[in-house]
A and B are shown apart, each in its own frame.
Chain A
Amino acid sequence: NAGVTQTPKFQVLKTGQSMTLQCAQDMNHEYMSWYRQDPGMGLRLIHYSVGAGITDQGEVPNGYNVSRSTTEDFPLRLLSAAPSQTSVYFCASSYTAGPRDTQYFGPGTRLTVL
């Protein structure tokens, strides 16, 4: 199993550009989520999904969209990039949405918005 994969690993955008961060998992996990990690702050939940076709907002959803058309894929779309979105983005998955389930994280995407 590849686990959770993310692409790209690094990305530089200009303010106002849009892009999609890709996330895929091959563990047949129901629950997938996106976090951002900034210096001095814990990982913060952006959006999450409890199954194909079902998504919901997390703590910091503004400026981001998600969709879940398949169990495996959970892309994160930046609509109009802003410097405040410079961060490291992690995708995670777990078997269910239960809080006791182990979260498996992808390797992250390091995004810089100029």
Chain B
Amino acid sequence: DAGVIQSPRHEVTEMGQEVTLRCKPISGHDYLFWYRQTMMRGLELLIYFNNNVPIDDSGMPEDRFSAKMPNASFSTLKIQPSEPRDSAVYFCASSFGVVGYNEQFFGPGTRLTVL
């Protein structure tokens, strides 16, 4: 298995532009998570899905952030418009079964820089 796949690996954009991050979870996994990692705030859960349905989006910082999971093999995290404070590493993770019981598998991350 290729593991969790994220694209792009690096993204540099200018303030105000739309940014779309993509994630392909491990086949057969029914949970998908989006995290953000910064030096100041550490690792933060933004949103997670179960069977393609958003379950908890309380970590999404503001309306500029949105996430979708149109099918079991694809999810996007969109920031529109982007701001410099959105600069971070964004991780996607997936797991199977009861969350918190089974481990999450993380992708390599997307390093976002907003100028």
Q: Do A and B actually bind?
A: no
